[in-house]
Amino acid sequence: MTGNMKLKICGMKYQDNITEVASLQPDYLGFIFHHQSARHFEGTIPQISDTIKKVGVFVDESIDFIKEMFEEHNLDCVQLHGHESPEFCKQLKKLCHSEFISESDDEMLKQVQHDNNVNVIKVFSIKDTFDFSVLEPYEEVCDYFLFDTKGKLPGGNGYTFNWSVLEQYPSTKPYFLSGGIGLDQVENLKQFQESNASKYCYAIDINSKFEIEPGFKNIKLLKEFKQNLSFRT
């Protein structure tokens, strides 16, 4: 891999484990705010490096709940893993630009708005084929797409989809590649990096294949994965 992708480690749950994983300096850490998930996050995110972006993962939640979690945990990104509409994403972006911050001082408001420009990541699930036309309404209201494996659960199903489908990707919007990625995919990832399908792949998203139990990540496996692949800094 030529080092032009970032790394997202998702499904963080336990404080000490979060600190350990953060010491590996991934680009993104994901926290799942979905009660049906075995990796549902509760509690407080420990202090981590400002270079690591905190992603809140939501599944068909209300804007009010997303707003509450965004503020409480000082999130940088919102990942939408449900059936959220383009209009919902548009409202969320608008809300993130204005209502997540205090309006006590106009100059301060402008500065804080600039500094806290939230990124919206919209998830789409793929199996063997995918109708890319569904992406078009989301182009203007999302910052990134994320492609995951279609399965019984909204995420964390533990197996990959056919990455060659992404050779037909019609957009220039950067995307995250997700879905059952583990150490056994290292060689496939290197090949993927050399393919046309990876042209707009911005980041690799890993989760369940690096766990001792749901939400508790294996540091040894994560280190090995990082050593085998070069990620953009």
Q: What is the pLDDT of residues 85-102, one digit of tens each?
A: 999 999 998 776 555 655
How far is it, in rounded angstroms, from Cα 85 to Cα 90?
9
What does CATH list as the number for 6-228? 3.20.20.70
How far is it, in rounded angstroms, from Cα 173 to Cα 166?
13
Residue entry with tokens 């068909």 = 60
- Sequence-separated (6 or more) residues with CB below 8 Å from residue 48: 18, 19, 22, 29, 54
Q: What is the pLDDT of residues 172-231, one digit of tens each?
A: 999 999 999 999 999 999 999 999 999 999 999 999 999 999 999 999 999 999 999 877
Amino acid identity at 173: K
Q: What is the pLDDT of residues 35-83, one digit of tens each?
A: 999 999 999 999 999 999 999 999 999 999 999 999 999 999 999 999 9
User: Which comes out higher in pLDDT, residue 80 or 233?
Assistant: 80
Q: How many CA atoms lie within 13 A of 154 on its CB side?
A: 23
Spatial contact of 138 and 173, defined as CB atoms under 8 Å apart:
no
User: How do the domains of the chain map onto residue ranges?
Assistant: 6-228
pLDDT at residue 219 in the model: 98
* pTM for this entry: 0.89
Spatial contact of 32 and 54, defined as CB atoms under 8 Å apart:
no
Mapping DSSP onto H, E and C, the string for the chain reads CCCCCEEEECCCCCHHHHHHHHCCCCCEEEEECCCCCCCECCCCCCCCCCCCEEEEEECCCCHHHHHHHHHHHCCCEEEECCCCCHHHHHHHHHHHHHCCCCCCCHHHHHHHHHHCCCEEEEEEEECCCCCHHHHHHHCCCCCEEEEEECCCCCCCCCCCCCHHHHHHCCCCCCEEECCCCCHHHHHHHHHHHCCHHHCCEEEEEECHHHEEECCEECHHHHHHHHHHCCCCC
Question: Does the structure show a pLDDT above 70 at 110?
Answer: no
